[in-house]
Chains A and B, each alone.
Chain A
Amino acid sequence: MGKTLFDKVWDAHVVDTVPDGPQILYIDKHLIHEVTSPQAFAELEDKGIDLARTDKTVATADHNVPTINQHLTIKDALSRKQVDTLTKNCEKFGVTLYGLGHPYQGIVHVMSPELGITQPGMTMVCGDSHTSTHGAFGTIAFGIGTSQVAQVFASQCVLMNKPKSMRITVNGKLNPNVGPKDVILYIIAQLGTNAGTGYFVEYAGDVFEDMSMEGRMTVCNMSIEMGARGGMIAPDQTTFSYVKDREFAPKGEEWDKKLAYWKTLPSDKDATFDKEHHFDAANIAPMITYGTNPGMGMALDAQIPTAKNETEVKALEYMGFKEGEELLGKPINYVFIGSCTNSRIEDFRAVASYIKGKRKAANVNALIVPGSQQVSAQIQKEGLTQIFEEAGFEIRQSGCSACLGMNEDKIPANEYCVSTSNRNFEGRQGPGARTLLASPLIAAMTAVEGKITSLT
């Protein structure tokens, strides 16, 4: 029987199998950041052990950093201590850190792919659930807890039962103004927030084959929002062209060798999956969420459906919405364009091309937070800065920012925010904040109109 892409990568990394138990999976790259690593470093110290493979560990500061005046000392004492602790730990244990001020600093899931650290066929982990992003390269990448961060530090391995396999196929051609974010929000709305639990997903079909690497990353990023530990897309010429010549990509003969291997990775024709879902690209419209989990999404011009249970009733109450209501015309005072889902150069190009020559509505605070220092530099280089500034958008420095509201970038209580991030949970963007997830294009349009508007 044929093997899936996931089988091929997984099987190549199994060190051993515990009888009646999990497998020991070898990890090629371990990404770390300031929030979920300090307790893991402390565990190494308590046990008096070294970090096994510093050459396979890369650190950055992203979750808890200010997005303004990054050259100054961090004002918030607790945040400063957390970022300083990361610096000290990296020095002590010999880990490469792209900290604040470094040209490679950025959101861990933005900076790693753009540096060529992320490569097809790898196993990657990070103490962050959106590690699924890297699956866009045909990589097994998933989020882990801090105990597991310590385990990878100590052994370069995790203990894990092999997940079941699911393939989600979307064939056909996407409608105008429908992008990767709409595709994944549509899939999650169709399948629900726990459909993927226990599975690793492979996204297949025309839509993903035709998608850019940035788009594929947006899709794989949100796999966790339907409960899947990760999502993957078969590596192809788009993948290889993206990786080639990046800072840490293989070079010369090593490249040829790796490329030949990567080409063997796509799922075999006769491979079978534990679960299959099929969707038609033509049915996907620009999407927006109306509730407090990413599965509560609908077409931008649709009406809010009837609540299915008590939790959805509570969600609508929190959002201040009613069943049967349209979102079109709703005034919106906050727009956030950023996060590991949508803060890559392609996202900002889409935003810039829409807002060029326009101006944001007077009521709107529009925040642009690039995913990395390199994205910031590229925005500058392509002249997008001027477009954003002329439109009245505020451009910040890179970090996770208002996606999770750990730093001072928060949305005030009861305010609506159209956000390109990945989670609309209660209070995610600040206590009482109400998040509506959407694509960069819808977010840009909302900023200009000052309310939710149809594209047509």
Chain B
Amino acid sequence: MEKFTKLQSQAVPLPISDVDTDQIIPARFLKATNKIGFGANLFRDWRYLNDTETNPDFVLNNPKYTGSILVAGANFGCGSSREHAAWAIADYGFKVVISSFFADIFKGNALNNGILPIQISQNDLDAILERLEAHPDTIIEVDLEAQKCTVDVLDIECSFEIDPYKKYCLINGFDDIDFLLSKKAEISAFEKNID
């Protein structure tokens, strides 16, 4: 997994709440047997009007908006457990998603793919979304070590929570699977008691 420490970037606003993983990547694009290329279909049915024509009203098609931070409404990533949603977001180039609330499974999937989900207050989120609406060039700074998300022009500096173990994993690019494999002895001992 790629390491994550700090990021300074423009951001893409998506002021919609309850964005479910079917919107992030519709089921008909889940037929691949690898993790490559899902970014091309990220938010497919909002991004395109039909098979070929892009929707000019959708934020990803607005050339003013760029950057590796996605700022979205509450309850982001609800619904299906498909990790393809996290793969699509990462493949498109986002490294951070900021929202006031994340669905559990998506949050775990994001962290397992080097994407940092940052939960901030609804007030701060609304202020950032409003700012982005008027000023697409607004810069957001994220410091994982300090657990801080800063928007200088708004005088916003929010602390965010992250599980200390997951923070360690992100900073060091360490996977859960490696950690679990290092616990084989404890797991085998547990199995002896239950099998």
Binding site for B on A (CB under 8 A): 15-16, 18, 20-22, 24, 26, 35-36, 38-39, 42-43, 47, 49, 63-64, 76, 78-79, 81-82, 85, 127-129, 143-148, 150-151, 154-157, 159, 161, 163, 193-194, 197-198, 224, 227, 229, 293, 309-311, 314, 404-406, 423, 425-428, 431
Interface code B70-82, partner A: CB below 8 Å = 1, 0 otherwise? 0001110011111
Cβ-defined contact, A127 with B81, below 8 A: yes
A-B contact pairs, 30 of them (CB 8 A): A21-B163, A24-B180, A26-B187, A26-B191, A26-B194, A36-B81, A63-B27, A63-B30, A78-B32, A128-B81, A144-B81, A144-B108, A147-B112, A147-B177, A151-B176, A151-B180, A154-B177, A155-B181, A155-B184, A161-B163, A163-B104, A193-B75, A193-B78, A194-B78, A227-B75, A314-B16, A406-B30, A423-B20, A425-B20, A428-B27
Are B16 and A194 in touch, CB under 8 angstroms? no
Nearest Cβ on chain B to A237's Cβ, whole angstroms: 26
Report B155-194 residues with CB < 8 Å from chain A CB: 163-166, 175-177, 179-181, 183-184, 186-187, 190-191, 194
| Pair A145/B81 contact, Cβ less than 8 Å | yes
Q: Please, which residues of chain A bring their CB within 8 A of the CB of B64? A: none
Residues 38 to 86 of chain B near chain A (Cβ within 8 Å) = 45, 73-75, 78-84, 86
Do residues A404 and B27 form an inter-chain contact, with CB atoms below 8 A? Answer: yes
Query: Could you tell me the distance between the alpha carbons of A278 and B102 in the complex, rounded to whole angstroms?
Result: 26
Q: CA–CA, A26 to B190, complex, Å?
A: 8
Cβ contact within 8 Å between B177 and A198: no
Q: Residues of B with Cβ closer than 8 Å to A?
A: 15-18, 20, 22-23, 26-28, 30-35, 45, 73-75, 78-84, 86, 101-105, 108-109, 112-113, 163-166, 175-177, 179-181, 183-184, 186-187, 190-191, 194
A38 x B15 contact (CB < 8 A): no
Task: Please determine whether B176 and A38 come into contact, CB atoms closer than 8 angstroms.
Answer: no
Contacts of A26 in B (CB 8 A): 187, 190-191, 194
Q: Point out the residue from A39, A128, A309 that lies within 8 Å of B35, measured CB to CB.
A: A39
A428 to B109, CA, bound (A): 21
Asked if residues B83 and A36 are in contact (CB atoms below 8 Å), the reply is yes
A-B contacts besides A36-B81, A145-B82, 17 pairs, CB < 8 Å: A16-B183, A24-B183, A35-B30, A38-B34, A42-B33, A63-B30, A82-B33, A147-B113, A154-B177, A155-B183, A155-B184, A156-B191, A198-B104, A310-B15, A310-B16, A314-B16, A427-B22
Residues of B within 8 A of A24 (CB): 180, 183, 186-187
Q: Which residues of B contact A309 (CB under 8 A)?
A: 17
Are A85 and B112 also in contact (CB < 8 A) when A310-B16, A404-B27 are?
Answer: no
Distance A52 CA – B14 CA, assembled complex (angstroms): 42
A15 touching B177, Cβ below 8 Å: no
Of all chain B residues, which has the CB nearest A199? B104
On chain B, the residues within 8 Å of A39 by CB distance are 33-35, 83
From residue A167, how far is it (CB to closest CB) to chain B in Å? Answer: 19
Question: How far apart are the CA atoms of A163 and B22 in the complex, in Å?
Answer: 25
Q: Judge whether B105 and A145 touch: CB under 8 Å.
A: yes
Contacts of B181 in A (CB 8 A): 49, 154-155
Expressed in whole angstroms, the minimum distance between the Cβ of A183 and any Cβ of chain B is: 21
Query: B32 and A22: CB pair below 8 A?
Result: no
Contact A145 B109 (CB under 8 A): yes
Contact across chains for A194 and B163 when beta carbons are under 8 A apart: no
The residues of B that contact A22 with a CB separation of less than 8 Å are: 163, 165
| B103:A194 contact, CB within 8 angstroms | yes
- Closest Cβ of chain B: how far from A133's Cβ, in Å? 13
Most buried by A among B27, B30, B86, B183: B27
Given A155-B180, A405-B28, A406-B31, A425:B22 Cβ within 8 A: yes
Smallest Cβ-Cβ distance to A403: which chain B residue:
B27
- In the bound complex, residues from chain B placing their C-beta under 8 Å from that of A426 are 22-23, 45
Instruction: Given A15-B187, A154-B180, A159-B176, check contact A406 B28 (CB 8 Å).
Output: yes
A423 touches B108 (CB 8 A): no
Chain B residue at smallest Cβ distance from A128: B81
